[in-house]
C-alpha cells in the first residue's frame, strides 16, 4: 500500500521464543557414580572378585576379632593370650590351601569327590556316638578328639557333603530328564539328608541341623520343586523341629529369650541380654579394638557364637555394617554364579553353598541381635573354630572355580597376559614382540589403502 510505513514489504513474523528444555546434567556426580557402579556389576569378573575379595576380608577381619575376643578367655583358662588366635591362624592357613586347591580343580573332579566326601562325613559322624572316641562340648555330643587341644566336628563337613553329593545327584537326574517326576526329585536326596540330620540330632546339635535343612530346601528350590511338594517337605521338617524344641527344656528356654532385655529368673537369658549390651555400648564407631568390656567374663562364647557382639562393641555400627556388607556381596556373587551358568551341577552346587553360608550368617547374627533363638552356630569365616572354617573355605574355593569357569570370565582371563614369569622369547619381549608389532602395522596400512593403490 502506498501509505504503508513498511514500503510494500510484508510484515515480519516474529517467532515466539520457547523456554529451553531442561536437560539432565551429565556432570551429576551421583548419576556418574551410579553408571560406573552399574557397569562394574555387569563385568564378567565381578563375581570372581567379589567372592575372592569378600571371603578374604571376612577371614582376615575374623582373625583380628578372634585375637581380640579370645584373650581374656585364654587367660582365664591359664593359657597364653594368643592361644586361640594361633589355632585359628593355623586353620586359616590350611583352609587357604584347600581354597586354592578347590579353585583350581575342574568341575569333573569336584563331582568325583562328592561320594568320597559323603562317605567320610557319614563315617566320622557315626564315630561321634562311639564311647571313647566322641566327646561332648557344651552338652552336645558332636566332637572327635584328635589329641591335645585339637578337636574335629564332623557335622560341619556334612554340610559340604550334602551340597556336593546333592548337586551331582540332581544334575545327573536333570540330564536324564527325571526331575519332572516328584519321586526322582525326592529319592534318594531327602532320605540321605534325613540320615545326616538324624546323625546330627543324636548329638543334640540342632543349630547345625537347621543349616543342613536350609541347604536341602535350597537344592529342592533350585531343582524346581513344585509348591505343594516344597510346602509338604517344609511342613514335615517344621513338625519335627517343633517336637524337638518342645521336648527339650534347654531349647524352650532359648526360644523364650527372643527379644529379652533382662536375664530373667535363674539368668536363663544371660547370654542373649549381654550380647545386646555389647552392641548397645559400641555406638557408631565402637570403643576401640581390644577395649570390649563384655568379653571380660560377662559374655559367654565371646570368640565363637557371639563374636559379632564383640565386633559391635569394639568397632561399633560401622564395623558391624561392614561385616554385613561383605556377607551381602558374597551372597550376591554366589547367586550370580548360579544364575548365569548352563551347567546344572554348577548351578546346584553354587546355590547350595550360597544358601549354606547365607543361612548360617543370618541365624548367627539374628541370635546376637535377639531376633532369633540362640542356635549355637558360628559366623562363617569369622568365628573361632577350625572345624567350621576348613569346609567353608573349601566351599568358597568351589564358588571361585565356578566363577572362573563362566564363558565370559574365561574370555576375560584369557585376554590378560601374566605379568610375572613370562619368557622373553615367547612371552611378548624381544624379536617376537617387534615382529607382532610390525605385522600389526602392516595390516593397518593395507586396510587404509584405496583398492587401486599399490
Q: Where are the alpha helices (DSSP H) in 77-113?
A: 83-104, 107-112
Place of cell 583358662: 77
The pLDDT, as a whole number, for residue 435 is 43
User: Helices 386-404 and 307-340, interaxial angle, to 10°?
Assistant: 30
- SS3 at position 152: strand
Cα 207–Cα 211–Cα 214 angle in degrees, nearest 5: 140
Q: How many other CB atoms sit within 10 Å of the CB of residue 26?
A: 8
Left (φ > 0), alpha (ψ -120 to 50) or beta: where does 25 sit?
A: beta
Residue with the bigger pLDDT between 396 and 237: it is: 396
Asked whether the predicted pLDDT for residue 211 surpasses 80, the reply is: yes
Which of 85, 138, 88 minimizes the C-alpha distance to 301?
A: 138
Band of pLDDT at residue 412, cut at 50, 70 and 90: confident
- Bond into 188 cis (ω within 30): yes
- Tell me the HSE value of 29 on the side-chain side, using a 13 A CA sphere: 0
- Tell me the HSE value of 280 on the side-chain side, using a 13 A CA sphere: 8
The pLDDT, as a whole number, for residue 423 is 46
The pLDDT, as a whole number, for residue 23 is 54
Residue burial 74-90, b: 16+ Cβ < 10 Å; e: rest: beeeeeeeebbbebbee
Report whether 363 contacts 207 (CB < 8 A). Answer: yes
* Residue range 28-77, pLDDT digits in tens: 888 888 888 888 777 888 999 999 999 999 999 999 999 999 999 999 99
Distance separating alpha carbons of residues 161 and 99, to the nearest angstrom: 16
Band of pLDDT at residue 447, cut at 50, 70 and 90: very low
The pLDDT, as a whole number, for residue 409 is 82
Across the beta sheet with 140-145, the strand order is 134-137, 140-145, 151-152
Question: Which cell goes with 298?
Answer: 560377662
Q: Give the pTM.
A: 0.84
Report whether 249 contacts 281 (CB < 8 A). Answer: no
Amino acid at each position: 500500500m502506498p501509505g504503508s510505513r513498511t514500503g510494500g514489504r510484508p510484515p515480519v513474523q516474529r517467532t515466539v521464543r520457547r523456554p529451553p528444555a531442561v536437560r539432565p546434567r551429565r556432570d551429576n556426580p551421583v548419576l556418574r557414580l551410579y553408571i560406573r557402579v552399574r557397569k562394574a556389576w555387569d563385568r564378567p569378573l565381578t563375581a570372581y572378585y567379589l567372592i575372592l575379595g569378600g571371603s578374604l576380608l571376612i577371614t582376615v577381619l575374623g582373625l583380628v576379632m578372634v585375637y581380640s575376643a579370645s584373650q581374656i578367655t585364654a587367660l582365664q583358662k591359664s593359657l597364653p593370650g594368643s592361644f586361640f588366635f594361633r589355632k585359628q591362624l593355623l586353620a586359616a592357613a590350611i583352609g587357604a590351601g584347600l581354597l586354592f586347591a578347590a579353585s583350581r580343580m575342574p568341575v569333573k573332579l569336584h563331582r568325583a569327590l562328592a561320594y568320597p566326601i559323603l562317605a567320610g562325613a557319614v563315617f566320622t559322624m557315626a564315630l561321634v556316638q562311639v564311647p571313647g572316641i566322641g566327646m561332648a562340648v557344651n552338652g552336645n555330643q558332636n566332637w572327635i578328639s584328635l589329641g591335645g587341644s585339637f578337636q574335629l566336628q564332623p557335622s560341619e563337613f556334612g554340610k559340604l557333603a550334602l551340597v556336593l553329593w546333592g548337586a551331582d545327584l540332581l544334575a545327573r537326574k536333570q540330564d536324564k530328564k527325571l526331575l519332572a517326576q516328584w519321586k526322582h526329585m525326592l529319592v534318594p536326596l531327602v532320605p540321605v539328608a534325613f540320615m545326616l540330620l538324624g546323625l546330627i540330632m543324636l548329638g543334640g546339635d540342632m543349630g547345625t541341623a537347621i543349616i543342613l535343612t536350609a541347604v536341602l530346601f535350597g537344592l529342592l528350590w533350585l531343582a524346581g520343586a513344585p509348591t505343594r511338594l516344597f510346602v509338604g517337605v517344609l511342613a514335615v521338617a517344621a513338625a519335627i523341629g517343633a517336637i524337638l524344641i518342645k521336648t527339650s527344656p534347654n531349647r524352650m528356654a532359648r526360644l523364650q529369650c527372643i527379644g529379652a532385655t533382662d536375664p530373667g529368673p535363674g539368668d536363663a537369658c544371660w547370654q542373649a541380654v549381654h550380647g545386646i549390651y555389647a552392641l548397645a555400648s559400641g555406638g557408631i564407631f565402637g570403643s576401640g579394638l581390644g577395649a570390649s568390656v563384655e568379653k571380660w567374663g560377662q559374655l559367654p562364647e565371646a570368640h565363637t557364637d557371639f563374636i559379632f557382639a564383640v565386633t559391635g562393641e569394639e568397632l561399633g555400627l560401622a564395623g558391624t555394617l561392614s561385616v554385613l556388607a561383605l556377607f551381602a556381596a558374597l551372597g550376591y556373587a554366589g547367586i550370580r554364579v548360579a544364575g548365569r551358568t548352563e551347567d546344572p551341577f554348577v548351578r546346584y552346587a553354587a546355590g547350595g553353598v550360597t544358601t549354606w553360608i547365607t543361612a548360617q550368617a543370618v541365624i548367627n547374627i539374628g541370635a546376637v541381635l535377639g531376633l532369633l533363638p540362640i542356635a549355637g552356630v558360628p559366623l562363617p569365616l569369622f568365628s573361632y573354630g577350625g572345624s567350621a572354617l576348613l569346609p567353608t573355605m573349601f566351599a568358597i574355593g568351589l564358588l571361585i572355580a565356578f566363577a572362573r569357569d563362566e564363558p565370559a570370565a574365561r574370555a576375560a582371563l584369557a585376554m590378560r597376559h601374566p605379568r610375572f614369569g613370562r619368557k622373553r622369547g615367547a612371552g611378548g619381549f624381544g624379536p617376537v614382540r617387534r615382529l607382532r608389532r610390525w605385522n600389526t602395522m602392516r595390516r593397518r596400512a593395507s586396510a587404509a589403502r584405496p583398492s587401486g593403490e599399490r
